[in-house]
């Protein structure tokens, strides 16, 4: 696949930033708000935002059931921050009426790193990216971020926090065609996570 079409769910979050990063990696990126747009993509990015509001908006736009169906059929997906929460199978500290997409066998905790004022940055080792020859650590931006409390046996852990009170917490995972990070790579200018996902879409 020379130029995959990758959608960015355009209900909340850094939609333009994700589209710019994907385009920089050789994909044709489009915003997705309608069923026809979802049907046209080879992969989908679910950006940050507020996960309970996002789950409600998926219903308002009649995208929830079609998206669940496409994910079950193997649609490659990448979720950042709230996108990780949406893709998870189990969510801690959420509202009882919030729905999720059940595409990753993980348990996540919402707002695990604290409130907006406790946002922070950290350098990470990211398996498959920073372990390449000559690669530098990845600067990760965490904004009201979740972390992975538990990952199932089929889930690959790609990155953990190395220092501070959250040392050892899992912040990037992959299970087959689904990728998720606690942090926001679209805000740093480092497109390596997006390139990693574009390559996943191409391989799928």
Residue 49 annotated as lining a ligand binding site = yes
Write down the pLDDT at residue 110.
84
Assess whether pLDDT exceeds 70 at residue 191. Answer: yes
Rounded-to-integer distance, Cα 185 and Cα 193, Å: 7
Assess whether pLDDT exceeds 80 at residue 98. Answer: no
Rounded-to-integer distance, Cα 197 and Cα 191, Å: 10
Task: Determine what percent of the chain is predicted with pLDDT higher than 70.
Answer: 96
Residue 63 DSSP SS3? coil
Confidence (pTM): 0.94
Residue 143 annotated as lining a ligand binding site = yes
Q: What is the mean pLDDT of residues 55-62?
A: 92
Phi/psi at 72 (nearest 5 deg)?
-65, -25
Residue 192 annotated as lining a ligand binding site = no
Rounded-to-integer distance, Cα 131 and Cα 137, Å: 9
Write down the pLDDT at residue 118.
55
Task: Determine what percent of the chain is predicted with pLDDT higher than 90.
Answer: 74
Model confidence pLDDT, tens digit, residues 11-40: 988 999 999 999 999 999 999 999 999 999
Residue 119 annotated as lining a ligand binding site = no
DSSP 185: G
Q: What's the chain's length in residues?
A: 204
Q: Which residues are catalytic?
A: 81, 184, 186
Rounded-to-integer distance, Cα 119 and Cα 107, Å: 21
Model confidence pLDDT, tens digit, residues 166-183: 778 999 999 999 999 999
Q: What is the mean pLDDT of residues 45-55?
A: 89
> DSSP letters of 117-186?
GG-EEEEE--TTTTTSTTPPPEEEEESS--EEEEE-TTPEEEEE--SSTTTT-EEEEEETTEEEESS-GG
Assess whether pLDDT exceeds 50 at residue 117. Answer: no
Taking CA atoms, 51 is separated from 15, 24, 38, 61, 196, in Å, by 15, 27, 19, 15, 24
Strand partners, 107: 90, 150
State the chain's mean pLDDT as an integer.
Answer: 92
Assess whether pLDDT exceeds 50 at residue 80. Answer: yes
Strand partners, 181: 80, 172
């Amino acid at each position: 696949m020379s130029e995959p079409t990758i959608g960015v769910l355009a209900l909340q979050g850094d939609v333009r930033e994700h589209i710019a990063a994907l385009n920089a990696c050789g994909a044709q990126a489009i915003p997705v708000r309608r069923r026809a747009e979802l049907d046209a993509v080879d992969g989908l990015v679910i950006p940050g935002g507020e996960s309970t509001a996002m789950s409600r908006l998926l219903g308002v736009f009649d995208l929830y059931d079609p998206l669940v169906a496409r994910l079950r059929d193997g649609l490659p997906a990448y979720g950042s921050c709230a996108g990780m929460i949406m893709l998870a199978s189990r969510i801690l500290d959420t509202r009882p009426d919030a729905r999720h997409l059940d595409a990753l066998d993980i348990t996540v905790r919402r707002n695990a790193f604290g409130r907006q004022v406790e946002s922070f940055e950290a350098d990470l080792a990211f398996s498959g990216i920073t372990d390449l020859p000559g690669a530098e650590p990845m600067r990760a931006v965490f904004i009201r971020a979740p972390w992975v409390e538990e990952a199932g046996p089929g889930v690959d852990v790609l990155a953990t926090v190395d220092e501070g009170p959250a040392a050892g917490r899992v912040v990037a995972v992959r299970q087959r065609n689904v990728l998720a990070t606690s942090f926001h790579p679209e805000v740093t200018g480092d497109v390596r996570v997006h390139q990693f996902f574009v390559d996943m879409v191409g391989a799928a």
